[in-house]
Homo-oligomer: A and B are copies of this chain.
Amino acid sequence: MIDPARPLALVAGAGHLPELVAASLDRARRPFRVLAVRGFTERAMRRRADAVVDLLDIPGTLRILKEWAPAAVVPAGGVTRPSPAALLNAAHAVRNRDILKSLAGGDDRLLRAVLSLLEENGHRVLGVHEVAPDLLGRLGRLGRVEPDSDATLSIASGRAMLGALGPFDVGQAAVVAGERVIAVEGPEGTDRMLARARALNRKPFGRGTPAKGTVLVKLPKLGQDLRIDLPAIGPRTVRRAAEAGCAGIAIGAGHTLVIDREATVAAADAAGLFLIGVEVAP
């Protein structure tokens, strides 16, 4: 167990997530320090930053964390797909061509490498799901709408298919209508997959109306390191799913971040979509 009195080190990447984690830690009265990453951390968190590092300034980061000696390091928010400026800065900070290449590739090998490095230096690395579990979707219905029998079948076949894809390095979400798979997520991400599903509905002789019981199923992969890659949904996911003709969204309970839960649930209720947490291991 980690010492709850010792501060955590929240490494704040891009997006809204670091703020949500900070708020969750505040609610839990967990002390923490904020390490901002230049070019990634949003303004709200930059204001709370106790220190700022350059992306990939590994020596500088290790120095600060050694001084802080946090109970655990908590990375939150993206640091992939950096701006050209950030990439150039990083190129000055590190000589490691492999790390730079994976950074440029936008995949998560970089984060994996950094996490290993932190652990090699004696730090414990915890995921958002471990320090702020209140941000995750729980088992069962989250909003007012219940899935009907068509949707329930879609959820089951979507879970089975994503399970079969488990051994392969492919997306963690699909749009499913009954036993028919409308789209499997690749590196393009959930939003673009939903845009594709939407386009398929609109075809001159697509169904016009989408197939009954169309569902977005979003689950982590087996063995996925949630500290690096935590599946997430938010109000935008709900809007896109509604536009794609989905009757609802099924997420892996305890394994999926629900960004801005109130707004997400309100959006689902307003659009008549169900939102349900399902068990991750079928």
> Which residues of chain A have a CB within 8 Å of any CB of chain B?
80-82, 84, 87, 104-106, 157, 160-161, 164-165, 167-171, 179-184, 186-188, 196, 199-200, 203-208
Contacts and interface: CB of A to CB of B under 8 A. Distances in A.
A24 to B, nearest CB: 30
A277 to B, nearest CB: 23
A106 B30 CA distance: 56
Contacts of A187: 182, 200
A87 B204 CA distance: 12
Contacts of A87: 205
Contacts of A180: 169-170
Contacts of A160: 167-168
A181 B169 contact: yes
Contact of A164 (B84, B105, B164): B164
Contact of A81 (B80, B169, B200, B204): B204
Contacts of A157: 168
Identify the interface centre among A82, A157, A186, A188: most chain B CB within 10 Å of its CB. A186
A271 to B, nearest CB: 23
A151 to B, nearest CB: 17
A106 B203 contact: yes
A207 B104 contact: yes
B105 A207 contact: yes
